[in-house]
Structure 1
Amino acid sequence: MKWQGRRQSKNVVDRRRGGATGAVGGVGVVVMLLIGLALGVDVTPLLSELEGQGGTTQLSAADERAAEFVAVTLADTEEIWADILPDQAGQRYAEPALVLFSGATQSACGGASAATGPFYCPADKQIYLDTDFFVTMERQLGAGGDFAAAYVVAHEVAHSVQDQLGILGEANRVRAQASEVQSNAISVRIELQADCYSGIWARAASRTLGTVERGDLDEALNAARQIGDDTLQRNAGRSVQPHTFTHGTSDQRERWFDKGYQSGDMRQCDTFSVQRL
């Protein structure tokens, strides 16, 4: 992916120099995340408790590079969706802010940590991302490469697009009134649509921005496969339990990303009206 020296978004909020990074970061965060995945335990409360115990953190060159990469990728999503959303949905695109943190921080949707992974919070319209997640993807999940990391950013931006279209709010309203199994099933459809929108972003990045290089698409598709619910459960030593899925299987995530990439059409990403995902 061609990203060095390109325009960076002004919508990045960097919280990494605060107390959270002094308490637990780097390898420690990765280890805690893997423990949580293996045991099915959310370790966010522990990370949040540690948040205030450290001092100011000195960021490494790799940390600074990751922040620059995220800012460039976010800028690309802004340029792409500023064209696509008015053209295909008749609506102006509102750029979300992206909060960088390390270890743990707070959002309007609750605690954010490496255990929760990157997420979009509709309550404050912001994306939360610990760049150590990129390390986890590469070293522990087998999903390395800069375009794989860009796919993660694009996926969370896609949730902002869903929010702006009213899709996310309506889906979450229905989820709140549904059983746990039904809620999980709706969550899968939300996530797969975000994967499809991410594919639309990748297509535009390739055809209009010219930033996609040979092998980049394979990196994104591999990332989609490696973070499927069935693969994560299997790799954590747990039995695969479809009724607990919240993001979709590896096959589904890869297929819907590719559908967005091949079509470039938001109408093809309607995961809520299809019977077979």
Structure 2
Amino acid sequence: MRLKGTRASRNIEDRRRRGGGAKAGGIGGVGLLIVLAVGYFAGIDVTPLLEGAAPMQQQNNSRTLTAQEEQAGAFAARVLGTTEEVWEQVFAQQVGKPYSPPIMVLYAGVTQSPCGGASGATGPFYCPADRKAYLDTAFFATMAQQLGAKGDFAAAYVIAHEVAHHVQNELGILPEVNRRRAAVSQVEANALTVRLELQADCLSGVWARAVGGLLEPGDLDEALHAARQIGDDTLQRNAGRVPQPHTFTHGTSAQRAGWFKRGYDRGDIGQCDTFAAGRL
């Protein structure tokens, strides 16, 4: 992805210098990230795997960021900048109202949000309570090395996906889905969550189409491959489980890639209505 010369967003809250990251006993640091990432994306209860591990605690001492962390932060800020420009234009043209961008919180190890504690267990996520997206930049390495989702555009897709949840919040979709999820069974709530996540994938595709001039050969394939690697069925299979559709919270590999491609091909948020789709 050609980000050189693009505007870096100023809507960044960098908490990574506040402490030395997370410390955990039992499972090694890298192994812990793998377990928690798989648990997040696959909707698997990883508590049994963490038994005997000491709780993750944020150290209070300040620290200097590594060169890799500095690079990841600069990358995230530039990608976030592209989302701001894209959604400002899309809202003006397709929604007819202004777009108010989110803040992106960069952290290392653990941090706090109004939606609860943020750590590798939660993965990247959007909190509607404070309208902020939370990202541990170490997750990029986890994606590439452990989940098989390599490439800068695969990492950009993760950021675009979380921003897409903010777009859903701006459109009033997220609060309505949360209201409906609170009134139904767990299985029905999971099904609604799948549609919400697939819509975010589609909206990420709309963003990808709009930044097409920044794409390099292979970038689109990187995003599609990442979407397939973090499908619920693939992650449950890789975790040694038989895929159980009633536990899915993000959609299958085919669904995630398919809805991202739909958004990319159409460039129209109206084509991302997963809640009206008969088949996902």
The DSSP-based 3-state class of the residue aligned with 2:98 is coil
Cα distance in 1 for partners of 2:108, 2:90 equals 32
Match of 2:46 in 1: 41
The answer to whether the Cα contact below 8 Å between 1:114 and 1:132 also exists between their aligned partners in 2 is: no
- Once superposed, what is the RMSD of the aligned Cα atoms? 2.1
Cα distance in 1 for partners of 2:8, 2:52 equals 33
Residue 72 of structure 2 corresponds to residue 66 of structure 1? yes
After superposition, the Cα gap between the structure-2 partners of 1:130 and 1:180, relative to the gap in structure 1 and judged at 3 Å, is same
Match of 1:7 in 2: 7
Cα distance in 1 for partners of 2:155, 2:29 equals 18
Match of 2:87 in 1: 81
Match of 2:181 in 1: 175
After superposition, the Cα gap between the structure-2 partners of 1:138 and 1:45, relative to the gap in structure 1 and judged at 3 Å, is same
The answer to whether the Cα contact below 8 Å between 1:22 and 1:56 also exists between their aligned partners in 2 is: no
- AA aligned to 1:261 is Y
Partner of residue 213 from structure 1, selected from 195, 216, 222: 216
User: 1:246-276 deviations in whole A, cap 9, x for unaligned?
Assistant: 0000000000000000000111100000110
- AA aligned to 2:181 is R
The DSSP-based 3-state class of the residue aligned with 1:19 is coil
User: 1:28-67 deviations in whole A, cap 9, x for unaligned?
Assistant: 5432132343673269999994333352233111110000
User: Equivalent residues in 2 for 1:198-277 (5 A)?
Assistant: 198-206=204-212, 210-277=213-280
The DSSP-based 3-state class of the residue aligned with 2:2 is coil
Partner of residue 164 from structure 2, selected from 134, 142, 158: 158
Task: Give 1:161 deviation, angstroms.
Answer: 0.4
Residue 130 of structure 2 corresponds to residue 127 of structure 1? no
The answer to whether the Cα contact below 8 Å between 2:21 and 2:58 also exists between their aligned partners in 1 is: no
| Identity of matched residues, % | 57
User: Equivalent residues in 2 for 1:84-103 (5 A)?
Assistant: 84-103=90-109
The answer to whether the Cα contact below 8 Å between 1:47 and 1:113 also exists between their aligned partners in 2 is: no
- AA aligned to 1:223 is A
The answer to whether the Cα contact below 8 Å between 1:48 and 1:105 also exists between their aligned partners in 2 is: no
The DSSP-based 3-state class of the residue aligned with 1:272 is helix
- AA aligned to 1:113 is S
User: Which structure has greater helix proportion?
Assistant: 1
After superposition, the Cα gap between the structure-2 partners of 1:46 and 1:273, relative to the gap in structure 1 and judged at 3 Å, is farther
Cα distance in 2 for partners of 1:264, 1:20 equals 42
The answer to whether the Cα contact below 8 Å between 1:47 and 1:103 also exists between their aligned partners in 2 is: no
The DSSP-based 3-state class of the residue aligned with 2:228 is helix
Shifted more, 6-15 versus 36-45: the winner is: 36-45
Cα distance in 1 for partners of 2:205, 2:166 equals 15
Match of 1:19 in 2: 19
